[in-house]
């Protein structure tokens, strides 16, 4: 059994290691909204298709296959810059897009 595909979802200075295939840009924006702005006690209605992705608590950087960078004007942390540089050097798919409306 192979390990699940993993990637990096970046939003400004924040980032998530994600289990799952590279999501479409619109779904990536929804995932950022879902994970960055949870409201305690309230479960917003998210599309069921978002269940295809989850936040990974432990990962090896060598297993990251993709990255989506949603810019919001904030600088990336040193760790994120390093991960993006490593992914670029390996020829991994890095997609860039606008930040979600939060």
**Which tens digit of pLDDT belongs to each residue from 30-84?**
999 888 877 777 777 889 999 999 999 888 888 899 999 998 888 888 989 999 9
Pairing verdict, β 6-11 and 64-71: parallel
Task: Judge contact between 56 and 18, C-beta under 8 A.
Answer: yes
Task: Tell me how crowded residue 9 is: count the other CB atoms within 10 A of its CB.
Answer: 24
Task: Tell me how crowded residue 17 is: count the other CB atoms within 10 A of its CB.
Answer: 19
Cα–Cα–Cα angle for 71, 60, 13, nearest 5°? 20
Q: What pLDDT sits at residue 73?
A: 84
- Read off the tokens for 50: 């978002």
């Amino acid at each position: 059994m192979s390990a699940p595909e993993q990637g990096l979802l970046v939003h400004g200075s924040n980032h998530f290691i994600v289990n799952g295939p590279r999501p479409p840009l619109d779904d990536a924006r929804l995932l950022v909204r879902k994970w960055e702005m949870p409201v305690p006690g309230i479960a917003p209605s998210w599309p069921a298709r978002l269940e295809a992705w989850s936040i990974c608590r432990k990962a090896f950087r060598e297993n990251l296959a993709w990255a989506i960078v949603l810019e919001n004007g904030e600088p990336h942390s040193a760790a994120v810059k390093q991960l993006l540089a490593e992914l670029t050097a390996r020829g991994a798919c890095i997609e860039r897009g606008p930040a979600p409306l939060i």
